[in-house]
Chain A
Amino acid sequence: MRITMQNIYKAFGTNQVLTGVDFDLLEGEVHALMGENGAGKSTMMNVLTGMHARDKGIITIDGKETYFKSPKEAEKNGITFIHQELNIWRDMTVLENLFIGKELRNSFGLLKINEMKVLAEKQFEKLAVSIPLDKEAGSCSVGEQQMIEIAKALMTDAKVIIMDEPTAALTEREISKLFDVISSLKKSGVSIVYISHRMEEIFTICDRITVMRDGKTVDTKPIPETNFDEVVRKMVGRELTERFPKRVPVPGEIVLEAKGLTKKGVFENVSFSVREGEIVGVSGLMGAGRTEIMRAIFGLDSIDSGEVRLKGEKVKISTPDQAVKLGIGFITEDRKDEGLILDFSISENMILPTLSSFAPKGIINQKSTTDFVEMLIKRLTVKTESSDIAVGKLSGGNQQKVVIAKWVGIGPKLLILDEPTRGVDVGAKREIYQLMNELTERGVAIIMVSSELPEVLGMSDRILVVHEGKIKGELLNKEATQEKIMTLATGGQ
């Protein structure tokens, strides 16, 4: 199957996401798609598979103009999109997941379970996966879930498979298996769009590469004719050093000290500390237990053993309100689900953790909240016409600023940021980095959990690498490299 996309435009509201994208995919090629978060990679693929309608532009498949109305229609025509956020029904079995929406039925409308089992087993054999088919999908590791998704795509007889960060959660062994599968698919004429941030992988398995930036395709080249540096330069559009604002760290006293934190089956013997004015990066694969450790420190989950000290004093934090009272703020990775009340206004969201301080006599004082909110909006450069607008109507970057503002408002001693720039555009990203630097200058301690290695390397003074619930290593900024982090994160030494 050959696909061409010409001069594609797409906007959400006034937010122009794609501005004239060109892309073509040949039969039996592995085509890398690279670009920073927010460059428009996923949107472009969503336009191709009918999730979003294009505003302008031409899409042809095998020379014929084709526009799908839904991902389901695209799938029927042989184009499958494996999303980064996995589409797993956690309470259903692996087998049920593999056939969801495409169950085989006999003439009475009943499920043909045995036939489905045979097909599934065959597919798993090809992929050299050994997951019991009756296992609950939610209890599979993230890597296994990824393989389930891939198997599901292959069973639809896909001619084109789009993979969005397929290796983010895989171990090295699983990755090499996936690469074997990709090369055999290629031989049988299947085309693959490979979206990834991992340069090494792309130069190993891809035939061509397309780089995107700010909603445009910058360049398409055969892999042998390009190199790491050129790709990065094109992706960023400027020198890499500019991305992370400089700062001189002046670490002070220890703010938080964790000793031997253990939660059975989730994390084990986790010990680390953060100082005033320090940014500690926490790296690791998806599902390694990074977020879970932070949730436990913030009192969202319980621990089995271990202790936490705040400014030298032993504290017991079993609910978030205790953490907030101690001056700890938590910017979670999922701002829509856990960070914001989307129907609440900017102002209402910002004062949530500090509500009672605005009501000394029991009634909320409008004047003092307005002043406070105006101050935060200015300080975080939230772009809005009014603080009364519902937060759900803001762009991702501005929403994230509101979440951060909420915590800046408590005058924190320690801020935990989990994926602080996920889904945030490049401009807002830099503003968030700058704010982090500014906060550290005032003595705030910061823990930043991030899956983006450049961000971890660019912002952290120290880096903790988590692997399977344990802190596998600690690297100082000057000795850290992507390779060293990845080695530790995948369990190497």
Chain B
Amino acid sequence: MNSIQEAAKPGKMNMMNAITQKLGPLLGLIILVVIVSILNPSFLEPLNILNLLRQVAINALIAFGMTFVILTGGIDLSVGAILALSSALTAGMIVSGLDPIFAMIIGCILGGLMGMVNGLFITKGKMAPFIATLATMTIFRGLTLVYTEGNPITGLGDNYLFQLFGRGYFLGIPVPAITMIITFIVLFIVLHKTPFGRQTYAIGGNEKAALISGIKVPKVKIMIYSLSGMLAALAGAILTSRLNSAQPTAGTSYELDAIAAVVLGGTSLSGGKGRIFGTLIGALIIGTLNNGLNLLGVSSFYQMVVKGIVILIAVLLDRKK
């Protein structure tokens, strides 16, 4: 009996679809860059591009973690609050005399632990990720305010390496951009070449089937939320270095920018489908919009409106496929 169905043939249409699927966000970014640079040619100046990369790094790092979370069909609303709390704790450690680099590493570990708390509530407590991270977001933000008493933590000294991390350049490239690119390469390999990455997709594609196939679903999820927390803390370290202080309200609504980057990159919020390269592009699109609209002198109020519209258009185009 012939059971091969028509659709099972990899035809021309499928190839075309695959290409637009992969390159859709990139195409969007290119179009955006062209429009902005026509309106204001100074956009393309190397200094501005480097500046843009530095601006993008923080959102991109958070969004990389968010990509893993969303691929499993989850969401992490607590990343902005984790960024703030871990930054405050890091700054506190530095002020009390700990080596800044060492304090940053501990801060990232603490961020990872905060993410692990999310993972534990979601897996062992069987809570919906939205609810669990909404609650921890509030808790972490509250703890930040308690710890800082609502004031910025300043007086972080002048450690060269620490300052380099957020403000410096290496071979002419901003260090945050280098951090972002290295992190991207590592996570790209993890997501596309390792069993862990495959399991991430499997959980989002069909959690029950993944579980029955012997995948340790709770363990993988806990690791993913820990990763998300750790990357948020890493982004926080960059921010703290750049501002040379920890702000109690740092990272407010960063989770939304990260989710926007993931969605603009073509990752499905229902899980199982998407790519981390898309997220990088998504973060660059948001960065280009911010940077370009600033150059064009558009007020920041209008910028929000434009950003929202771009997200809507991107998702609508994605549906058409």
Residues on A facing B (Cβ under 8 Å): 12-15, 298, 300, 319-321, 323-325, 330, 332, 337-344, 348, 352-353, 355-356, 358-359, 362-364, 383-386, 388-389, 393-395, 397-398, 406, 425-428
Contacts and interface: CB of A to CB of B under 8 A. Distances in A.
Contacts of A385: 4, 8-10
Contacts of A397: 1, 3
Interface in B193-207: 193-195, 198-199, 201-202, 205-206
Contacts of A425: 1, 3
Given A355-B195, A383-B4, 6 more contacts: A15-B3, A319-B216, A338-B206, A338-B212, A383-B3, A425-B1
24 contacts: A14-B5, A320-B213, A321-B214, A324-B214, A330-B212, A337-B206, A337-B208, A337-B209, A339-B209, A340-B209, A341-B210, A343-B273, A344-B201, A355-B215, A363-B189, A364-B193, A385-B10, A388-B10, A389-B10, A394-B3, A395-B5, A397-B1, A428-B1, A428-B3
Contact-residue size bin, chain B (C-beta under 8 Å from the other chain): 20 to 34
B202 A394 contact: no
B211 interface: yes
A355 B5 contact: no
B198 A355 contact: yes
A266 to B, nearest CB: 19
B216 to A, nearest CB: 5
A321 B206 CA distance: 16
Nearest to B9: A385
B198 A364 contact: yes
A105 to B, nearest CB: 34
B6 interface: yes
B5 A394 contact: yes
A344 B8 contact: no
B8 A394 contact: yes
B211 A341 contact: no
Contacts of A363: 189, 193-194
B7 interface: yes
A427 B214 CA distance: 30
B96 interface: no
A179 B211 CA distance: 43
A427 B3 CA distance: 10
Nearest to B5: A13
Interface string B250-288: 000000000000000000000011000000000000000
A383 B9 CA distance: 12
Given A348-B198, A364-B195, A383 B272 contact: no
B2 interface: yes
B212 A332 contact: yes
B3 A338 contact: no
Contacts of B4: 14, 383-385, 394-395, 398
Contacts of B10: 385-386, 388-389
A304 B19 CA distance: 53
Interface string B1-42: 111111111100000000000000000000000000000000
Contacts of A389: 8, 10
B199 A341 contact: no
Contacts of A12: 5
A389 B10 CA distance: 8
Contact of A321 (B2, B3, B8, B215): B215
Contacts of B214: 320-321, 323-325, 352-353
Given A348-B198, A363-B193, A364-B195, A343 B205 contact: yes
A13 B6 contact: yes
A389 B212 CA distance: 22
Contact of B206 (A319, A340, A358, A386): A340
Chain A CB within 10 A, most for which of B1, B2, B212 = B212
Contacts of B208: 337-338
A300 to B, nearest CB: 7
B189 to A, nearest CB: 7
Contacts of B202: 341, 344, 348, 352
Given A319-B216, A425-B1, A352 B7 contact: no
Q: Most chain-A CB neighbours within 10 Å: which of B4, B10, B193? A: B4
Interface centre among B9, B198, B201 (most CB of A within 10 A): B198
A339 B273 CA distance: 18
A337 B209 CA distance: 7
B272 A341 contact: yes
Nearest to A348: B198
Contacts of B1: 397, 425-428
B198 to A, nearest CB: 6
A342 B3 contact: no
A352 B3 contact: no
Nearest to A398: B3
Contact of B194 (A323, A353, A362, A386): A362
Interface in B274-315: none
A65 B79 CA distance: 62
Contacts of B195: 355-356, 358-359, 364
* A-B complex: 10 closest residue pairs judged by Cβ atoms: A324-B214, A341-B205, A13-B5, A395-B3, A352-B213, A427-B1, A355-B195, A321-B214, A341-B206, A13-B6
A300 B205 contact: no
Contacts of B211: 300, 320
Contacts of A398: 3-4
Given A14-B5, A355-B199, A397-B3, A338 B209 contact: yes
A320 B212 contact: yes
A403 B80 CA distance: 42
Interface in B86-113: none
B210 A352 contact: yes
A388 B208 CA distance: 22
A298 B213 CA distance: 11
A146 B6 CA distance: 37
Given A341-B206, A343-B205, A359-B194, A393 B7 contact: yes
Interface string B172-197: 00000000000000000100011100
Contact of A384 (B8, B189, B212, B272): B8
Contacts of B5: 12-15, 393-395
A321 B7 CA distance: 34
Contacts of B213: 320, 324, 352-353, 406
Contacts of A338: 206, 208-209, 212
A146 to B, nearest CB: 26
Contacts of A348: 198, 202
A340 B206 CA distance: 7
Contacts of B272: 341, 343
Contacts of B206: 337-338, 340-342
A216 to B, nearest CB: 14
Contacts of A384: 4, 8
Contacts of A395: 3-5
A359 B194 CA distance: 7
Given A320-B212, A324-B213, A389-B8, A344 B205 contact: yes
Contacts of A388: 10
Nearest to A399: B3
Contacts of B215: 321, 352, 355
B168 to A, nearest CB: 32
Given A339-B209, A341-B209, A364 B3 contact: no
